[in-house]
Amino acid sequence: MFIDSHCHLDRLDLTAYNGDLDLAVQAARDAGVSRMLCIGIDLENAPTVVALAEQYDDVFASVGVHPLDCKELVPDIEVVKKLAAHKKVVAIGETGLDYYYADSEGLQAIQRQSFINHLQLASELKLPVVVHTRDAREDTIDFIREYGSGESAGVLHCFTESLEMATAALDLGYYISISGIATFRNASELRDVVKHLPMDRLLIETDSPYLAPVPHRGKPNEPKFVVEVARYIAELKGVDERELGRVTSENFFNLFNTAA
């Protein structure tokens, strides 16, 4: 069995399922996906992802504000805290830093304060953090080190950065999650990183509806394709895909330890 550790069920393209999310969830189950973590990205969609976790026994939720949704004001972390009290919320985030699109000091300052607030809340609640990072390697690690805690160590999701950054995150107790990007032709550096990652700190994800893996690249992504990600990573690691599914599922429950 496999676990999609990062997906956006509220954003899936359901055209192939006649608009029925139930069918998309069942397709994932039929493919061998046993759990899905539906990720909150802002204060507006957080109630939706929590409701989806309530609706499906095999779906959990996270709540937080994506750095690219920190556009004018630092988000109210007290709202996130209230949402995190729900029993199906197993993580804080998605939060982090993305300097690729936020190219002004003002926007980056808002992202930094939001990230700090999320890290401190996660430490308070003893929940893991789901971290998005792009073009902010040094600040991401420095902020985790300064404002995070071992009890709230989380995951760098959809990882595309350097082995050096991965190693620094692993040293801080974090996990590394790999998406379908690893299957892309131009992702040779990422594949080298994957080969060096320890199996006991590895997660897999789709980040659906984005970043569909080969052979589905260019099409809408969905949780059932996490099996394709697992198959590819298993080949890179030189292990059986069922073993990779077993280990990454075990890792998921070790990290998101309030999930049941």
DSSP secondary structure code for residue 100 in this structure:
T
Instruction: Give the percent of the chain with pLDDT over 90.
Output: 97
Domain boundaries, the chain: 2-255
Across residues 156-173, what is the average pLDDT? 98
**DSSP per-residue codes, 2-35:** EEEEEE-GGG---GGGTT-HHHHHHHHHHHTEEE
Q: 75-124 pLDDT, tens per residue?
A: 999 999 999 999 999 999 999 999 998 878 999 999 999 999 999 999 99
Average predicted confidence (pLDDT) for the chain: 97
Give domain 2-255's CATH superfamily.
Metal-dependent hydrolases (3.20.20.140)
Q: Answer yes or no: are the C-beta atoms of 156 and 169 closer than 8 Å.
A: yes
Tokens 């690691």 -> residue: 237
Q: CA 65 to CA 94: how far, in whole Å?
A: 6
Q: 203-253 pLDDT, tens per residue?
A: 999 999 999 999 999 999 999 999 999 999 999 999 999 999 999 999 999
Whole-number pLDDT of residue 102: 86
Tokens for 120, please give them.
């401190």
Question: Predicted confidence band at 72 (pLDDT cuts at 50, 70, 90)?
Answer: confident
Sheet architecture: strand order including 155-156: 2-7, 33-38, 59-63, 89-98, 129-134, 155-156, 175-178, 202-204
- Return all residues near 21 (Cβ < 8 A) that are at least 6 apart: 9, 12, 14, 52
Whole-number pLDDT of residue 101: 87
Across residues 136-162, what is the average pLDDT? 97
Question: In one letter, which amino acid is 10?
Answer: D
Whole-number pLDDT of residue 176: 98
What are the helix (H) ranges across 32-162?
Answer: 46-55, 77-83, 105-125, 137-147
Q: CA 99 to CA 90: how far, in whole Å?
A: 27
Give the dihedral sign, CA 9/11/12/15: positive
Distance, C-alpha 237 to centroid of its chain? 21
Q: 167-203 pLDDT, tens per residue?
A: 999 999 999 999 999 999 999 999 999 999 999 999 9
Q: CA 139 to CA 57: how far, in whole Å?
A: 37
Whole-number pLDDT of residue 103: 78
Question: Predicted confidence band at 260 (pLDDT cuts at 50, 70, 90)?
Answer: confident
Question: Predicted confidence band at 254 (pLDDT cuts at 50, 70, 90)?
Answer: very high
Tokens for 223, please give them.
């949780």
Whole-number pLDDT of residue 71: 86
Q: CA 193 to CA 230: how far, in whole Å?
A: 15
The answer on pLDDT for 70 being more than 80 is yes
